């Protein structure tokens, strides 16, 4: 049985071995945060105490590797700055995940004094056409979500005393694994003039740069690297930073394998051309 | 040959009136953006609520489709029908525990931290996270086997990918201070240019399709039949 | 074939044995959650073990398609539908429909508000939409669908024009103040590009020389633009910002030209389209790089779970 060096049965164990090695023997690397991430951090840093920030946790467990670290970091930052955080989601399968992140961060020792309904609230999920839900939120937010995820009525909550619609939200961050940022920008950010930023999976990063350069969003946290950058800015390295060495190793490995493959390909092509000349 | 009046009336009820409704509501939905009166804001909220309620109930069609597919497989004993049993096991586990609601049943508020949440964390989150991670093996394997610099364009693609991949990780920063800057420039300028042009084209297509839907030229949403 | 099945069975048995042995060893060593009285904390332990088993079942696909993977895949689909049903009920149907319209019938303390009675209309329309599955009465679903689709289509036109077209055209053609020297550079670059396009189709040494010069200049531009010291030289940084805006405009225009398929790509249009292809290839390369980063992140997370939460090696 002939096994070529590009055989998946060789590449798969190589990939696994590289990641295991990098996780077991990590090397600390300096991380210089990207400008797009710094823009989000700086904006939240400058928000006055008590400002309302909306976190749209628009992803499900399939994207948790990249988005849970950045959600956790942003939520910690907002609570540390004594901002009021309103969470919600357009992804039904991520509803419980969003709630678990809010609960986990709120239970940290430095945030134990924060009260649900006053300092933060997780509204859960609303079905239907996303554009219509955002429009509803833009006109009347407590009416759109009459109850929060834990079935507490929202109309009486202190957090909604002066936040009646999206227009009253001071910053909107869509943490997304799908194309929800496109709809948020069209029907939320641009329509109601809400300053917004996006945190997304790395797959969507290249598309979000278009919105960034058009100033429809004022910052972008893309992928695990973005999460690591935010953790560095918060001075609290966790899952994002922990994965960076493994990420570096695997990227270098892929580039080396592709280069070796191309060198072999070019050598073979040249040899065949010479043989062709000799016979022809 | 004259069409019987009954048939014309039925055609009007089944086809013409829905198309007219689509036209009316389409023009209304377009025009309401340009009405500054507070009435427009109230109406938007009102109609948006209706759209949400209808959409939220119509979602059940999707669930029905999936259940019908797996039921059919089991009934007809098609190849691999045994796996459909696992589908129903998963559905029964999650839906059953959710509606049992820790003995409070589904007409009360959802219990927090109960069996449903436990199963969600133990099974759903893990499996979901693993499903897409398989691609982490397949992408390097495919790249190694198929990425060849056969032409100028392919070489350009490979070089760009290498620069971005190195520039995005801290190791790239350590190798050369130019790599992060080059990666950032690639994202901000040529990538933005290409993606923006694609987005402009796609948006024009979306607008054209919306107009076709409103004016009845596109009728696929009506479903089959007369 | 029989040999292959036997090999597969042996591999499956070995993997299962390794999993069981590993968990037994972890219990013995005291790594898996244990209560104070020494009895395993089964709920917490089962969360980890269930995760490991499902991860192993999914990863078994790397060997080949097998019953464990198919079973896990179908189980996941069922779990997903169950989760979605649950969320639909507790987050929408219960608070917005059941609690408002139906619960008052069972609770004398609560009554239906008159203003909420109007919800019966969209609920009715939603139920009409469900008739889509009926062969005889499927046409009834056209009414709510016409309302939904028509209104949504009309409602989305204005935001699409504003947010996806006008804002981006504006961002593309925005003028950046530039030093006259930068404009001279732009002029010379335009001449070089035009000459390269002209001679490229004719071949020969002028084409080779011009292509080499163009590529080298492009490479130098990227090198200087990516230099870490550039932000420290404001005049140069401003000039490059302006040049970037012009490259961006050129890129958008050339890619749009590439997508004009109703005209043959020859002459000036052909040359501009080829430039568009260059921008597209760079964009695809960037997308590939980011996609690799995304997928590898997911894989790293799974290994962090296996090595950290299960084996406690991290």
Same domain, A149 and A267: no
- What secondary structure letter does DSSP report for B111? P
Task: Flag whether B219 is in a domain.
Answer: no
Same domain flag for A183 and A132: yes
Tens-digit pLDDT profile for residues A197-246? 999 999 999 999 999 999 999 999 999 999 999 999 999 998 889 999 99
| pLDDT value, residue C34 | 66
Q: Do A190 and C300 touch (CB under 8 A)?
A: no
What's the DSSP call for residue B3?
P
Please tell me the predicted confidence (pLDDT) of residue B1: 56
Confidence at residue C118, expressed as pLDDT on a 0 to 100 scale: 84
Nearest to A44 by CA among A13, A22, A77: A77
Residue B189: pLDDT band (50, 70, 90) is: very high
The answer to whether B34 and C161 have CB atoms below 8 angstroms apart is: no
The per-residue pLDDT string of chain C (314 residues; one tens digit each, 9 = 90 and over) reads 567 778 888 888 888 888 888 888 887 777 766 666 666 677 778 888 888 999 999 999 998 888 899 999 999 999 999 998 998 888 888 888 888 888 888 877 777 777 778 888 888 998 998 888 888 888 899 999 999 999 999 999 999 999 999 999 999 987 677 778 888 888 888 888 888 888 887 888 888 888 889 889 999 999 999 998 988 898 888 888 888 999 999 999 999 999 999 999 888 898 899 999 999 999 999 999 999 999 999 999 999 999 988 888 88
Structural element, H or E, at residue C29? helix C2-29
What pLDDT sits at residue B4?
A: 65
For A:44-63, CB contacts with C below 8 A are: 62-63
Of B80-84, B129-133, B171-175, C249-253, the range with the highest mean pLDDT is: C249-253
From the list A11, A63, A259, which residue is nearest B140 (CB)? Answer: A11
Q: Report d(CA C207, CA C213) in Å as an integer.
A: 10
C117/chain B closest Cα distance in angstroms: 13
Distance from the Cα of residue A195 to its chain's centroid: 17
In chain A, how many domains are there? 2
Do A266 and A183 lie in one domain? The reply is no
Say if residue B114 is in the same domain as residue B70.
Answer: yes
| Contacting subunits of A (3+ beta carbon pairs below 8 A) | B, C
Model-level pTM? 0.90
**Residue A90 near residue A126, CB atoms below 8 Å:** yes
B155 falls within a domain: yes
Q: Is residue A125 assigned to a domain? A: yes
Q: What is the pLDDT of residue A224?
A: 95
pLDDT in tens, B47-60: 888 888 888 888 88
**Domain encompassing residue A264:** 8-26+245-279
Do A77 and A156 sit in the same domain of this protein? yes
| Same domain assignment for residues B129 and B186 | no
Residue A187 sits in the same domain as residue A250: no
Pair (A138, A157) in one structural domain: yes
Instruction: Let me know whether A74 and A16 are in one domain.
Output: no
Q: Return the closest-CA partner of residue A221 out of A244, A243, A196, A184.
A: A196
Q: How confident is the model at residue A5 (pLDDT cuts 50, 70, 90)?
A: low
Same domain, A60 and A98: yes
From the list A31, A96, A248, the residue facing B117 with the nearest CB is A96
pLDDT at residue A1 greater than cutoff 60: no
C291: chain A residues, CB-CB within 8 Å: 202-203
CA dihedral B197, B200, B205, B211 (to 10 degrees): -170
Q: What's the gap in Å between the CA of B179 and the closest CA on chain A?
A: 12
Query: Between chains, do A139 and B41 touch, taking CB under 8 Å as contact?
Result: yes
Is B139 part of a structural domain of the chain?
Answer: no
First to last CA, chain C: 42
> Do residues A161 and A51 share a domain?
yes
A66 shares contact with chain B (CB less than 8 Å): no
pLDDT above 70 (res A25): yes
Q: How confident is the model at residue B3 (pLDDT cuts 50, 70, 90)?
A: low
Which strands make up the sheet holding A196-200, listed edge to edge?
A: A120-125, A84-89, A52-58, A171-176, A196-200, A220-222
A63 with A177: CB under 8 angstroms?
yes
Domain spans of chain C, in order of start: 2-64, 174-300
Give the best residue of A39, A65, A96, A227 to mutate against chain B (max B CB count within 10 A): A96
- What pLDDT is attached to residue B2? 60
* Nearest residue on chain B to C278, alpha-carbon basis: B153
Residue A260 domain-assigned (yes or no): yes
Report the DSSP beta bridge partners of residue B217. Answer: none
- State whether A170 and A98 are in the same domain: yes
pLDDT of residue A16: 93
B46 with B71, same domain: the answer is: no
Residues A142 and A273 in one domain: no
User: Would you say residue B225 lies in a domain?
Assistant: no
**What is each CA distance from A12 to A199, B135, B144, C297, in whole angstroms?**
30, 11, 11, 16
3-class secondary structure, C294: helix
Interface with chain A: mutation pick from C97, C126, C296, highest number of A CBs within 10 Å: C296
Residues B66 and B111 in one domain: yes
Task: Kindly report the length of chain A.
Answer: 280
- The mean pLDDT value of chain A amounts to 91
Same domain for A249 and A238: no
Q: How many domains does chain B have?
A: 3
> Do B22 and B72 sit in the same domain of this protein?
no
Residue A160 is part of a domain; what is its CATH number? 3.40.50
CA distance B88 to C24: 31
Closest CA to C182 of C133, C129, C226, C225: C225
Q: Which chains share 3+ C-beta pairs under 8 angstroms with B?
A: A, C
Cα separation of A249 and A18, whole Å?
7
> By residue range, what is the domain housing residue B111?
61-133
Asked whether B189 and C158 are in contact (CB, 8 A), the reply is no
In eight-state DSSP terms, residue C262 is S
Q: Residues A40, A75: contact at Cβ < 8 Å?
A: no
Per-residue confidence (pLDDT) for residue B225, from 0 to 100 = 62
CA-based end-to-end distance of chain A: 34
Over the Cα atoms of chain B, what is R_g? 27
In this complex, is the C-beta atom of A9 within 8 Å of any C-beta atom belonging to chain B? no
Alpha helices in B37-114 (DSSP H): 38-58, 60-75, 81-100
CB distance A243–C301 less than 8 Å? yes
Asked if B152 and B199 sit in the same domain, the reply is yes
pLDDT tier for residue A126 given thresholds of 50, 70 and 90: confident
Q: In whole angstroms, what is the distance from residue C221 CA to residue B181 CA?
A: 12
Average of per-residue pLDDT values in chain B: 88
B226: pLDDT confidence band, cut at 50, 70 and 90?
A: low
The answer to whether C75 touches B127, Cβ cutoff 8 Å, is: yes
Cβ-defined contact of A65 to C91 (cutoff 8 Å)? no
Taking an 8 Å cut-off on Cβ atoms, the answer to whether C163 and A216 are in contact is: yes
* Rounded mean pLDDT, A62-79: 95
The verdict on residue A62 lying in a domain is yes
């Amino acid at each position: 049985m002939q096994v070529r060096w590009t055989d998946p049965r060789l590449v798969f164990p190589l990939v696994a071995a590289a990641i295991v090695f990098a996780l077991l023997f990590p090397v600390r690397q300096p991380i210089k945060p990207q400008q797009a991430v710094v823009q989000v951090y700086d904006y939240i840093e400058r928000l006055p105490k008590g400002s309302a920030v909306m976190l749209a946790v628009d992803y499900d467990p399939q994207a948790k590797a990249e988005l849970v670290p950045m959600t956790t970091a942003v939520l910690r930052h907002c609570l540390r700055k004594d901002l009021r955080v309103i969470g919600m989601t357009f992804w039904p399968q991520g509803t419980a995940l969003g709630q678990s992140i809010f609960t986990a961060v709120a239970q940290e020792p430095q945030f134990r004094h924060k009260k649900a309904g006053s300092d933060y609230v997780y509204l859960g999920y609303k079905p239907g056409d996303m554009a219509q839900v955002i429009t509803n939120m833009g006109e009347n937010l407590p009416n759109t979500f009459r109850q929060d995820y834990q079935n507490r009525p929202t109309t009486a909550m202190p957090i909604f005393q002066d936040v009646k619609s999206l227009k009253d939200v001071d910053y909107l961050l869509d943490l997304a694994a799908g194309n929800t940022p496109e709809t948020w920008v069209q029907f939320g950010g641009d329509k109601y003039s809400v300053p917004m930023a996006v945190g997304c999976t790395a797959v969507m990063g290249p598309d979000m740069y278009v919105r960034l350069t058009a100033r429809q969003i004022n910052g972008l946290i893309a992928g695990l690297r973005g999460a690591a950058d935010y953790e560095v800015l918060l001075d609290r390295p966790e899952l994002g930073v922990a994965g960076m060495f493994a990420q570096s190793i695997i990227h270098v490995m892929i580039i080396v394998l592709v280069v070796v493959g191309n060198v072999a390909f070019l050598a073979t092509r040249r040899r065949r051309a010479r043989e062709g000349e000799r016979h022809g | 040959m004259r069409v019987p009046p009954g048939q014309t009336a039925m055609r009007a009820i089944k086809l013409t009136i829905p198309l007219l409704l689509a036209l009316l509501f389409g023009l209304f939905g377009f025009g309401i953006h340009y009405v500054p009166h507070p009435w427009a804001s109230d109406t938007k909220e009102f109609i948006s609520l209706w759209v949400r309620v209808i959409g939220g109930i119509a979602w059940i069609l999707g669930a029905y489709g999936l259940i019908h597919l797996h039921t059919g497989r089991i009934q007809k004993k098609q190849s691999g029908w045994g796996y459909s049993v696992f589908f129903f096991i998963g559905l029964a586990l999650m839906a059953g525990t959710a509606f049992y609601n820790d003995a409070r049943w589904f007409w009360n508020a959802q219990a927090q931290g109960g069996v449903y949440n436990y199963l969600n964390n133990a099974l759903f989150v893990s499996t979901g996270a693993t499903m897409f991670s398989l691609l982490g093996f397949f992408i390097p394997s495919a790249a190694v086997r198929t990425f060849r610099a056969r032409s100028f364009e392919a070489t350009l693609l490979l070089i760009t990918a290498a620069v971005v991949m190195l520039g995005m990780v801290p190791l790239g920063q350590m190798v050369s201070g130019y790599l992060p800057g080059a990666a950032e420039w690639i994202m901000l300028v040529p990538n933005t240019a290409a993606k923006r042009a694609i987005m402009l084209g796609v948006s024009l297509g979306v607008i054209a399709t919306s107009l076709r839907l409103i004016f009845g030229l596109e009728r696929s949403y009506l479903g089959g039949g007369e | 074939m029989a040999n292959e099945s036997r090999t597969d069975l042996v591999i499956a048995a070995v993997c299962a044995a390794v999993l069981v042995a590993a968990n037994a060893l972890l219990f013995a060593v005291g790594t898996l959650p244990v209560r104070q009285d020494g009895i395993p904390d089964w709920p917490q332990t089962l969360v980890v073990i269930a995760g490991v088993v499902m991860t192993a079942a999914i990863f078994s696909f790397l060997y080949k398609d097998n019953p464990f993977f198919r079973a896990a895949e179908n189980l996941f689909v069922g779990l997903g539908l169950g989760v979605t049903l649950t969320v639909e009920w507790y987050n929408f149907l219960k608070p917005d429909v059941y609690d408002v319209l139906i619960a008052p019938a069972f609770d004398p303390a609560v009554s239906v508000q008159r203003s909420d009675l109007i919800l019966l209309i969209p609920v009715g329309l939603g139920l009409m939409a469900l008739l889509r599955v009926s062969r005889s009465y499927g046409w009834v679903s056209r009414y709510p669908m016409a309302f939904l689709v028509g209104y949504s289509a009309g409602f989305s036109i204005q935001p699409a024009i504003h947010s996806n077209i006008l804002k981006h055209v504006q961002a593309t053609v925005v003028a950046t103040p530039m030093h006259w020297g930068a404009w001279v550079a732009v002029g010379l670059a335009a001449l070089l590009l035009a000459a390269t396009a002209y001679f490229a189709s004719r071949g020969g040494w002028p084409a080779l020389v011009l292509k080499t010069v163009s590529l080298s200049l492009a490479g130098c531009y990227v090198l200087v633009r990516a230099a870490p010291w550039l932000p420290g030289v404001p005049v140069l940084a401003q000039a490059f910002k302006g040049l970037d805006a012009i490259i961006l405009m050129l890129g958008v225009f050339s890619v749009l030209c590439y997508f004009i398929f109703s005209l043959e790509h020859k002459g000036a249009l052909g040359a501009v389209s080829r430039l568009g292809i260059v921008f597209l290839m760079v964009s695809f390369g960037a997308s590939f790089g980011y996609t690799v980063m995304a997928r590898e992140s997911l894989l790293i997370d799974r290994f962090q779970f296996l090595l950290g939460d299960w084996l406690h090696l991290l």
